[in-house]
Amino acid sequence: MNVHPFIEAEKHTGHSVKRACELLKVSRAAFYARRTGAVGPAPRRTRS
């Protein structure tokens, strides 16, 4: 289930992103990473 649109809507109405993330058990870092398009860890280099 994707809760990020709900948190974004709460943010626009003036509610706390921190509190919404706590209640929905989502990290704020994940929420903001999704907003900026930085989803997932960076690719790792492989040894040659």
Over residues 4-45, the pLDDT tens digits come to 888 999 989 999 999 999 999 989 988 888 887 766 666 677
pLDDT at 36: 79
Structural domain contains residue 26 = yes
Structural domain contains residue 46 = no
Structural domain contains residue 44 = no
Structural domain contains residue 20 = yes
pTM score, two decimals?
0.64
Structural domain contains residue 45 = no
Domain count, the chain: 1
Say how far apart CA 22 and CA 48 lie, in whole Å.
Answer: 43
Structural domain contains residue 16 = yes
Structural domain contains residue 43 = no
Instruction: Please give the residue range of the domain that contains residue 15.
Output: 4-36
pLDDT at 37: 74
Structural domain contains residue 41 = no
Inter-CA distances, 22 with 5, 25, 35, 46, Å: 15, 5, 18, 36
